[in-house]
């Protein structure tokens, strides 16, 4: 292990596919050890995982960190948002967790909107218009389809809450992750009792919302991790809020994240309330707001297209009038939860590489369409986009974002920004600093800037036209799916 200048902290990223751990020197930001272990996610209509696998993956990732993990003075968990974790009276999962990309609750989302005042009322109340990804709609789905599971549930948690509670023995969450549930009111920064009553969820089943900078607890005695009893545990947060911390993000700087899902967001001093539902009005992890738009289909969907074509993911050719809407898991932006992929413009001379480039174009189009809604009017539209996530290092992703955005693109050299943000939050407990200031001190956003190229207006207009023309078909697909 490298000699550290300051105390060591651990940042955890429990994502859809795996759990990652970074052990970081709190003084310098140097990563002194890391580990990663996978999860299993069901395929088909539902997307579920056993939360106990997350704990096992955390143990294995920490084991890979070796001796450094034993020296950790504080730990924080960043996690995938929206997931519904139901626990019994012994703290064991009642059933597998319903993950963010499980869209079976689309009918319940529509019904809740109608029953509680419509989209504008929801946006003003919670900051967001709940879609099928939100936790409140998943709870409503569970009540309708698995009433026995509901009756057995004695605690309701989000993925990061589950791991934090296993560390500390106390049920806690933070404002950033709570803001993605649909039952946390952004205006009052507390649980919304009317919404909870409407969906039949006792607020006593929910975790305490820990304030930014507050200690969530300490590592308890009965555990099988390398942490010492009494190690400080930070509040943790959702993955996007953790990545914002990891970048040391200042208000107005746009981020485009390319992962299993795609997101665009920026820190804001203003509480968002977008009645169209395109922008989710999330809270961030240190007192501000994180207006965010999310797509369900990003790197995983494009990789699937590449696999179907038997191509390497970089083997793209100019799309030449071809349009592919890669909505393989339904879509959230635009809000088409039961849609499927759609291809238009296929010709005899169409190549596999053109098909693949069209998939990239379709995925990026959805994200950029929401970018202007995320940014405030006074934001500098010529400032570089910070490109992060697993896809950010791929040349095809980089060039597609440059071409369709017309903006310079900066690619931070730091990897695993969710885990780094969690580590910065843990470091803040030890130093008393704002975690974003810790990350700026670590210089985590440093990286090359790719110059702007001319915006490809023709491709953007073509995709928008196909999407508009295909709406009746996609809506018919929704109706036929939900009617069963």
Encoded tokens for 70: 């034993």
Residues 255 and 274: beta-carbon distance below 8 Å: no
CA distances from 279 to 80, 272, 451 (A): 18, 8, 28
Identify the three-state secondary structure at position 77.
strand
- CB proximity list for 140: less than 8 A, separation 6 or greater: 105, 108, 111, 112, 199
Which residues make beta-bridge pairs with 34? Answer: 22
Bridge partners of 449? 410
Q: Look at residue 174 and give its three-state secondary structure.
A: strand
d(Cα 30, Cα 420) in Å, to the nearest integer?
10
Rounded Cα distance between 195 and 173, Å, is 19
Using DSSP bridges, classify how beta strands 72-79 and 232-233 pair: parallel, antiparallel or unpaired: parallel
Question: Tokens standing for 277?
Answer: 């539902």
Check: CB of residue 470 under 8 Å from CB of residue 418. Answer: no
Cis-peptide into 33, omega within 30 deg: no
SS3 35: strand
- DSSP per residue, 462-473: HHHHHHHHHHHH
Is residue 24 a contact partner of residue 420, using CB atoms and an 8 Å limit?
yes
List of residues 6+ apart from 226 with CB closer than 8 A: 62, 63, 65, 69, 70, 72
Q: Is the dihedral of CA 120, 122, 128, 132 positive or negative?
A: negative
**Hey, what's the torsion of the CAs at 240, 242, 244, 249, to 10 degrees?**
170
How far is 13 from 76, CA to CA, in rounded Å? Answer: 9
Residue 252 DSSP one-character state: T
Instruction: Kindly name the residue from 239, 284, 288, 361 that is annotated as catalytic.
Output: 239
Asked if residue 465 lies in contact with residue 363, where contact means CB atoms within 8 angstroms, the answer is: no
Say whether 329 is catalytic: no
Neighbours of 92 (CB within 10 A): 11
Angle between helices 106-115 and 457-482 (to 10 degrees): 90
C-alpha span between 105 and 337 (Å, rounded): 9
3 state SS of 179: coil
Catalytic center residues:
239
């Amino acid at each position: 292990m490298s000699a550290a200048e300051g105390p060591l902290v651990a940042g955890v990223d429990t994502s859809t596919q795996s759990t990652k751990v970074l052990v970081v020197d709190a003084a310098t930001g140097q990563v002194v050890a890391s580990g990663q272990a996978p999860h299993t996610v069901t395929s088909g209509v539902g997307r579920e995982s056993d939360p106990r696998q997350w704990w096992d993956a955390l143990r294995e990732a920490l084991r890979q960190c070796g001796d450094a993990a034993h020296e950790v003075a504080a730990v924080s968990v960043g996690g995938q948002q929206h997931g519904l974790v139901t626990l019994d009276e012994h703290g064991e999962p009642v059933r597998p967790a319903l993950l963010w990309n499980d869209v079976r609750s689309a009918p319940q989302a529509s019904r809740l909107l109608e029953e509680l005042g419509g989209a504008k009322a929801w946006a003003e109340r919670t900051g967001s218009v709940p879609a099928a990804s939100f936790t409140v709609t998943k709870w409503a789905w569970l009540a309708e389809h698995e009433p026995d599971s509901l009756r057995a549930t004695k605690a309701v948690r989000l993925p990061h809450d589950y791991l934090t509670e296993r560390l500390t023995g106390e049920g806690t969450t933070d404002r950033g992750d709570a803001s993605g549930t649909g039952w946390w009111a952004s205006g009052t920064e507390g649980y919304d009792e009317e919404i909870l009553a409407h969906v039949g969820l006792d607020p006593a089943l929910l975790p305490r919302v820990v304030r930014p900078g507050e200690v969530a607890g300490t590592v308890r005695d009965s555990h099988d991790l390398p942490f010492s009893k009494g190690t400080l545990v930070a509040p943790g947060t959702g993955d996007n809020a953790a990545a914002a911390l990891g970048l040391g993000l200042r208000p107005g700087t746009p981020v485009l994240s390319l992962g299993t899902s795609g997101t665009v967001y920026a820190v804001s001093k203003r509480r968002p309330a977008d009645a169209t539902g395109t922008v989710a009005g999330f809270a961030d992890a240190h007192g501000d707001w994180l207006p965010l738009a999310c797509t369900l289909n990003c790197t995983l969907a494009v990789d699937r297209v590449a696999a179907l074509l038997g191509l390497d993911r970089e083997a793209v050719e100019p799309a030449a009038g071809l349009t592919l809407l890669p909505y393989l898991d339904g879509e959230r932006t635009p809000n088409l939860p039961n849609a499927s992929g759609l291809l238009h413009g296929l010709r005899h001379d169409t190549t596999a590489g053109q098909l693949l480039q069209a998939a990239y174009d379709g995925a990026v189009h959805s994200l950029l369409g929401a970018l202007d809604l995320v940014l405030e009017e006074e934001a500098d539209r010529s400032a570089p986009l910070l490109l992060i996530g697993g896809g950010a290092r791929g040349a095809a992703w980089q060039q597609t974002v440059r071409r369709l955005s017309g903006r310079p693109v900066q690619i931070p050299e730091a990897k695993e920004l969710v885990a780094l943000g969690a580590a910065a939050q843990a470091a803040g407990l030890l130093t008393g600093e704002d975690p974003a200031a810790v990350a700026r001190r670590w210089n985590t956003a440093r990286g090359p800037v790719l110059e702007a190229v001319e915006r490809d207006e023709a491709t953007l207009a073509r995709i928008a036209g196909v999407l508009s023309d295909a709406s009746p078909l996609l809506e018919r697909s929704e109706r036929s799916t939900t009617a069963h």
